[in-house]
Structure 1
Amino acid sequence: MNERMRQLLPNDRMKIYQSEPFFEDTDTVLTLLYQPLISIKGVAVFQALWKESSYQKTQTSISHHQMMNMLNITLDEFFEARKKLEAIGLLHTYKEEGTYRTLYYILQKPFSVKGFFEDPMLSVLLEHHIGRDAYYRIRKRLMYSMSLPSNVKSVTHAFDDVFTMIHPNEAKQEPVQVEEKTLTIDTNLPLEWLHKMLTQQNIKAKWILTQSNIDFIEKMTKIYDVDFLELEKALLWAVTEDQVLDRKEFQDMCKDIFYKKHGSVPPRLYVKGEQNQTQPEQNTSSHQQEQPQSKEEKLIQHFETITHRELLEDLSSSGRASMKEIDMLTNMMEEHGLSQPVMNVLVDYVLKRNHNKLAKNYLETIAAHWSREGIATAKEAMQIAKREHHMYETWKKKKSYNQKKKQGSNEVLPKWFEEERKNKQKQPSATKQPNQEDLEKEKKELEAFFKNYSKSNH
């Protein structure tokens, strides 16, 4: 509030301008794509300013108090929404001091649907905010494309086929040599260091460090909190054999770096200065046990300081991990909200139990169970894995014992033994009752028979 009182008061005037005409799908883009990032109040403030700019006459202004009444919000809420609009690139604000203070609000054109999904920063942030399934559902609904029959061919005339800049009667002139200008790229990345690093690896830096790639790299490093040393590793990983930057590989590597440092919660937009109550307290065990002593403590620290990508790379003889498996594990970790250390324990546990195979259904079942159990650290994951393994071994032994017992009870007795037993049962009850010695003798004979019979079968 103190910041707002210094910069904005209810009686301050506002003049609103639109930088250029907006796209036809602006309302759809604001509601479905921008709103998850800047909140419904941010979109409401932008739309109110947009409508006001359409009717506001030149040299006229309104007070912020009037805008507050139209939106039914406080000035603090308006100020916070304004800051989000400025940060996301939808609003430029200028201040003029005079008899009274005037704020000039210049509305910037929002992206079209196509432009929004092509922007690497906004599209990635939207996916993290609303989830992968909802993201692709909205994208499929909004990004429609026209399809032509497969047997058609283009007969469109090119510009050079129709027009020429030189009159046919004029003699041919020597082409004018245009001096190439050095492209100045506005970026915070250390381009000279990146150029030198790529050259040392026998990679053609000019193929990688294009204007488009540099813009993409800078946005990914900002989203996933990648420093310059980590950037080197991610960049070298993502360069293909044809010396082309694979953007998906680069983003996945940046994502691994983020999860390793900050846990399983994907990067989102948070307002600076706000207390985030839902931020999980992960990586605390690594600080508490700086110098592990036992074998188990060392293993826990190992699981807390690597990613599942690095774990699979260490187990591979080639030193490379399957991208299909990495994507599957990353998606599973995000869907079930498992931390990186817990995911590492899960991968290690399944590989040992399943003959070094990562079966998706098996992984999914355990991941869902551990998520419901609230497993948050590598130590907890190892404990539940040991407990489940012990239960499995106990069940397996019991099952084996029951099977053997069942096989023994189903042994077929010889026909002559059955006939003798029936004849004894038919004898009259008046006969002399067998004494204890006779019973013991008969019992021993039966035991000897079964013992000899089982030996003959084996």
Structure 2
Amino acid sequence: MVQMYKELLATDHFEIALPQALSSNERQLLTLFYQPLTGSDPASLYLTLWAEGEDYTAGKMTHYYLMNVLGMSVREVFEARIALEAIGLLRTWRKDEEDSRTFIYEVMRPLEAREFFADPLLSMFLFSKIGEQAYRKLRNRFCKPIDKQEYQEVTRTFTDVYKPVHMQVPQDMLEDREIERGYPFYYGQFDFDLLRAGLSEQLVPSSALTAEARLMIAKLAFLYKLSPLEMQKVVIMALDDTMKLPTERLKKAAADYYKITISKEAPKLAKTFEKSAASSSASKRTKEQELLDYLETTPPIQVLRDINKGKEPLSASVQLAEDLIVKHEMPVGVVNVLLEYVMLTTDMRLPKNYVERIADHWIRKNLKTAKEAMELARQERDKYAKWKAENETKANSPQKQSYKKSGGREEKVPDWFYKRDAESSTAPSPVTMVDFEAERQKILQKLGQDGQVN
């Protein structure tokens, strides 16, 4: 997920759809059951959406707001979002317009504790994260066992209590059904035909493979990495005396088969994008690619800190960056290149008029990425140097104006703004250029990333 800006931009808007009155019990479920699975960032995002969603007068917001509230980059916000989606805590809807995108984030209720423990993927995922002792403690706390062996259930059914009455019901009310709870799990990849091919009707009747049983079979096969042929043995082990497949027997049979044939250690689940991130970091990337990734995904306030060696930027600088993103809807990567270019060419200053003049040019050029901004800055560096001189002329007294025109120092430009293959004799001397790589290494050391920008 190197090019995260293609999936989500800081300027993209979103609205929140919140179920009525999430309870303190659901907050406990989120903290104790879901947070160990997703990590702290997705849990923080969920709580933030929950809090903002309770303000029913709030309109659309930008993701730049979330970046500031959560202290996350746009990449981290996106990864937190999809972690919530995968675990069943968030549903996302997107509308693409000509020049913008809008999302609806539908915050979903956590599963009740008994539903959570009944699900093989969620319960095993939690077991692998917190260990057996903590797992048993949670189960005893939220699912206190009740001995019903000496009791007979006398609960009335719906048809025992109610009878049908003929009346007209509006069609839209019939279609307004509650959304099925839980996480989205698609089991179309599991080969049920192959599973059935090795099970005769006399051995396992088709009636035993109910929709509930099929879903459980697919989940267990995914969790334990079992093939359809291996799941045949699990199904036979789970079949009860009435020729049915209760979910509890299926889970026990799969766990027993896994322990006997594969491993006694509990299976673990990992995020797919963490694997891709590891593989991408393993592959060699140029320094400019690392820098582009950093500029595309890092909040501008952090970029200002890094350029200024960790010092907090002035509120005017932060406000200027926010105006470019929120009011003018410039992409974060483009704003970061602009801030870095101006600061490294004006002795670490951010003259507002100079910044806005370049920003106006880039907006009219419809720049979308940090790479496009870098290329244009390289091409137009002479023009921007002239604009910089004009801005300084207006800001200074007549005596200082003549000094700047006649003997002003040569502007410093970071080396990555010059194409590596350029052979022009007009390129500045290395002595007058900022050692950007050295500055970048200081930033990386501060971030503790050992030379890799994420």
- The one of the two structures with greater contact order (alpha-carbon pairs below 8 A, sep at least 6) is 2
Q: Which TM-score applies when normalising by structure 1?
A: 0.48
Which structure has the bigger radius of gyration? 1
TM-score (norm 2): 0.49
